[in-house]
Structure 1
């Protein structure tokens, strides 16, 4: 959990400090996106401030408004925005999900969902802005699958062990940035490593539409034929491929590949193929806003028989594909 300090975070990297609502709106919009900013009461003292450092794909920020304000940025479009109060409370709605954000509950704003917020008087927050395309790039590298769209659970519970560890990493990054150790040269290899580690650990820690996929990474010690086989499956799982197709690409025999898969994964190559197809289908189902039918999602994930797909999906996840569509947890 990030805690308030006598001086606001990143105080030496001030963007603005103003009593004027229009000035605050204009400068914040330059760094993030156009939005509506309105005071809820003329009696509150509006005293806005933003501190900011920019990396290559990630920026760190501190913002306060002083007064009770409403903020309506709509869809952020190009970036995820993580907000964690270090003082006060904010009420946030992202898509259909509402979160009361406190010092123990941050929020992840998904860029393709409409956002509205109310920052109550005295609310101060640290914010992490991450390019949407960069999150997709890291997720693709982690999973081996072409992940174009990701949606996080908006509620960032800082009491959860994995999220707490991520928040500790973030605190360290804010401290290093404040002392000028990082966020000085965006193309510095160390800066890029830190940004990659921050996003990788976020994907590991925070529930999202790819959470059920990211845990299946293979290590550097994995046999080469297995790496080639998995790469082939990941690249072509949506196509009609056979065991012989996989073996031919991996450069080995069916018997040998069966033994390697059994030893490393506890399953056969074709069972692994089905596993990846089901995981990708679940990813699409969790993202869907009704624009894709179950049969279309089955087809996109390489399932050619909708009935067998539904049976396999229910056996794996304890609910039918239509049940997942109805829940639409990440909308």
Structure 2
């Protein structure tokens, strides 16, 4: 039987470099990502670094390998998230206090504000998705309808065998194949490029646990009367402020009684209950995102709660743990 021809790595028409020199590889990769330390762990294996890359508006797709066993220490990435998906081989990643054993079934997501150290073992080849940090924050704010008040962070371990993750991976490979076919990542494709980049981020936010997951999963009306949308927009915009039901109804263009009836019919909640839910969800996001460096009293104030005791009781009732327990959880440390 004849051997099947080996399929070339992704994005092969967009090669940026190939080198056997460690210093040259480090310098070129740093231009595309950030400065970092790169060290070989063995002189016995073959160092053969190669990068393919296409850059869009806020997202770049990359194929990267080093051939040999290497350690990489970029520290904090600062400006971008980096999703690393092994195509072959394995890597060990530490991002902040979280460690990920990465392989073709388990990707890693590097949070920009957490110190990163990695070891790519010999034969590790990865597909890398580089995403501007501000773009992720902006997309999250748009789909929640709220100012997040703190930078978003993901759980670094990204399990690709989950059905939701599979759907996200299909979107990603669709972009890769479109780039290879000349259908994306060019100035003539800017409109579709932006649309697909945003769709990729929305899907990622829905699939992978992050500090704003509680806000993203919050029930918001997809349709319904215009007065409901106006009221919900005002609640989101003025979450941290005090305002009355009369003010809310006036902004929505209806009476307080009718507004309550519409909320009950469309959302199963009163306007006050919806406001309280939004404030508690915001508090949880802040506690997780700030990772305990913000006092609970400040979190209560920033999420629109004026009475610390009542806030703590309501928070525990909704989430099954105290605000202090959430702050100490270190899920996103």
Bucket of the pairwise TM-score, normalised by the shorter protein: over 0.9
The equivalent position to 1:240 in structure 2, one of 231, 239, 242, is 242
Secondary structure, counterpart of 2:25 in structure 1: helix
Secondary structure, counterpart of 1:153 in structure 2: coil
User: Hey, what's the Cα distance between the residues in 2 that align with 1:232 and 1:33?
Assistant: 40
Offset at residue 216 of structure 1 (A):
3.2
Does the CA contact (< 8 Å) of 1:82 and 1:129 recur in 2? yes
Secondary structure, counterpart of 1:327 in structure 2: coil
Offset at residue 161 of structure 1 (A):
1.2
Offset at residue 219 of structure 1 (A):
5.4
Offset at residue 291 of structure 1 (A):
2.1
Offset at residue 213 of structure 1 (A):
1.2
Indicate the residue corresponding to 2:253 in structure 1.
Answer: 251
Offset at residue 186 of structure 1 (A):
7.5
Offset at residue 289 of structure 1 (A):
3.1
Alpha-carbon displacement from aligned partner over 1:157-194 (angstroms, at most 9, x marks no partner): 00111111101111111111111111112872111111
Bigger drift between 167-176 and 66-75 goes to: 167-176
Number of equivalenced pairs: 327
Secondary structure, counterpart of 2:12 in structure 1: coil
Indicate whether 1:173 and 2:175 are aligned: yes
In the TM superposition, what are the counterparts of 1:1-331 in structure 2 within 5 Å? 6-147=7-148, 148-185=150-187, 188-216=190-218, 218=220, 221-331=223-333
User: Hey, what's the Cα distance between the residues in 1 that align with 2:126 and 2:51?
Assistant: 10
TM-score by length of 1: 0.97
Alpha-carbon displacement from aligned partner over 1:47-94 (angstroms, at most 9, x marks no partner): 000000000000000000000000000000000000000000000000
Does the CA contact (< 8 Å) of 1:55 and 1:186 recur in 2? no
User: Hey, what's the Cα distance between the residues in 2 that align with 1:186 and 1:20?
Assistant: 36
Offset at residue 220 of structure 1 (A):
5.3
Does the CA contact (< 8 Å) of 1:39 and 1:67 recur in 2? yes
Does the CA contact (< 8 Å) of 1:60 and 1:128 recur in 2? yes
Structure 2, unaligned stretches of length 5 or more? 1-5
Indicate the residue corresponding to 2:3 in structure 1.
Answer: none
Alpha-carbon displacement from aligned partner over 1:5-63 (angstroms, at most 9, x marks no partner): 72010000001000010111001000000000000011110000000000000000000
TM-score by length of 2: 0.96
Structure 1, unaligned stretches of length 5 or more? none
The alignment yields a C-alpha RMSD, in angstroms, of 1.2
Does the CA contact (< 8 Å) of 1:50 and 1:63 recur in 2? yes
**Runs (4+) off by over 6 Å:** none
